[in-house]
Amino acid sequence: MKRTAVWGTGLVAVAALALTGCGATEAPVDAGEEDGSAGEAITIVDARGEEIVLPDGPAETVVALEWHQAEDVVTLGGELVGLSDVDGYTSWVGESAPLPNEPTDVGVRSEPSIETVSELEPDLIVGSLRSIPDEAMEQMERIAPVALFAGADASDPLGTVRSEFETMATLLGTEERGAEILADMDETFEANAARIDEAGLAGTPFVFASPYADGANVTVRMHGPGSATQAVATELGLTAAWSDDGDEGYGLSNTDLEGLTALPDDTEFLYWDNADTEDVVETSLAGSAVWESLAFVEDGRVHPAAVGIWAYGGPASMMAWSDDIVRALGE
């Protein structure tokens, strides 16, 4: 396939967007200052269907128990005083939404330390539906209002990214900034779709995968049509090479090496890479007769991708992912 040389320095600099959008290079917006809502009670309904009330107006200090919600707080310029697995966030999310401060580590995701969270005296605790064990919810809600988010919905992946980001902006009193960032996301997708089209890649089968090795056994997590990562690729004009819908939340399904033979020959195969983890493609797949026989492997259509970009994140991650697709396909 002929590729036009349109890649290079014209890529949207999503890291810079995230920095200027999230307050890493400027003072964070004071809660309520942007929209004049300081002191006015804020009410939202979270993913549990629970009504969450901030009686004194926008939250000024936040504890995040999950990386997606932490990313959204950072992107919106909120003050993150506590975060689950700070090192993990820095490794897996920090490229697209770097932490502007050093929040206190409140424990591993889904097992937060109630004592540590309480000592931070936050105005708001945010996370996903699985962030807090049921037996700990009552204690957590005594500390501060707790807003839990779905995090993903395979029936409308980017719509969910958008709507949950808007909800977070409401909780922080930064609705105007939130709207600007969502507009940036739309513009990023449009610009990168043009680059894909100019390179003659529109309509190319595309998949994002995450291989795992357990001894000699390799499992490949596939991000299907309902995943946010595939939805971004579709926005850019690429087509889904993997048709399995996967789970109802994240659009994920698992396959083995033999399952990859179902992919079209001209698939662009991007796999999740990270500096802190083993490159399973290099250590476990390379040299395998089945792997080496795949047409897209023979044609050099296999690309490490999404280093420091959270595949299950918010607008900052989705913009960074959009840029990374363009980078990978331009190599």
CATH assignment of the domain containing 37: 3.40.50.1980
Last residue of a domain, one of 179, 206, 229: 179
Task: Give the number of other CB atoms < 10 A from CB of residue 67.
Answer: 26
The predicted pLDDT at position 2 comes to 30
Which pLDDT band, with edges at 50, 70 and 90, does 38 fall under?
low
What is the C-alpha separation between 25 and 228, in angstroms, rounded?
Answer: 28
Read off the tokens for 146: 């707790």
Q: Exposed e or buried b for every residue in 125-147, given b needs 16+ CB within 10 A? A: bbbbeebbeeeeeeebeebbbbb
* 300 shares its domain with 186: yes
Last residue of a domain, one of 144, 179, 214: 179
* 154 shares its domain with 171: yes
Q: Is residue 14 part of a domain?
A: no
* 171 shares its domain with 304: no
Are 28 and 78 contacting, i.e. CB atoms less than 8 angstroms apart? yes
* 194 shares its domain with 149: no
Concatenating the DSSP letter of every residue in 69-112 gives HHHHHHHTT-EEEEES-HHHHHHHTTTTS--SS-PEE-EETTEE
* 65 shares its domain with 189: no
pLDDT digits (tens, 9 = 90+) for 45-76: 999 999 999 999 999 999 999 999 999 999 99
Q: Is residue 120 part of a domain?
A: yes
Are 172 and 208 contacting, i.e. CB atoms less than 8 angstroms apart? no
* 141 shares its domain with 205: no
Whether residue 35 has pLDDT greater than 60: no
β-pairing, 51-54 vs 42-45, is antiparallel
Q: Is residue 271 part of a domain?
A: yes
Query: By C-alpha distance, which of 213, 197, 85, 81 is closest to 144?
Result: 81
Tally of structural domains, the chain = 2
Give the number of C-alpha atoms closer than 13 A to the C-alpha of residue 206, restricted to the C-beta side: 24
Are 158 and 230 contacting, i.e. CB atoms less than 8 angstroms apart? no
Whether residue 111 has pLDDT greater than 60: yes
pLDDT digits (tens, 9 = 90+) for 200-258: 999 999 999 999 988 888 999 999 999 999 999 999 999 999 999 999 999 999 999 99
* 158 shares its domain with 25: yes
Q: How far is CA 137 from CA 52, 149, 170, in A?
A: 14, 15, 23
* 29 shares its domain with 149: yes
Query: By C-alpha distance, which of 104, 33, 98, 28 is closest to 63?
Result: 104
The predicted pLDDT at position 52 comes to 97
* 159 shares its domain with 186: no
The predicted pLDDT at position 140 comes to 97
* 131 shares its domain with 173: yes
* 117 shares its domain with 256: no
What is the C-alpha separation between 190 and 88, in angstroms, rounded?
Answer: 31
Read off the amino acid at residue 93.
Answer: V
Enclosing domain of residue 98: 21-179
What's the predicted TM-score (pTM) here?
0.88
Last residue of a domain, one of 179, 207, 227: 179
* 88 alpha-carbon distance from chain centroid: 13
* 27 shares its domain with 172: yes
Whether residue 36 has pLDDT greater than 50: no
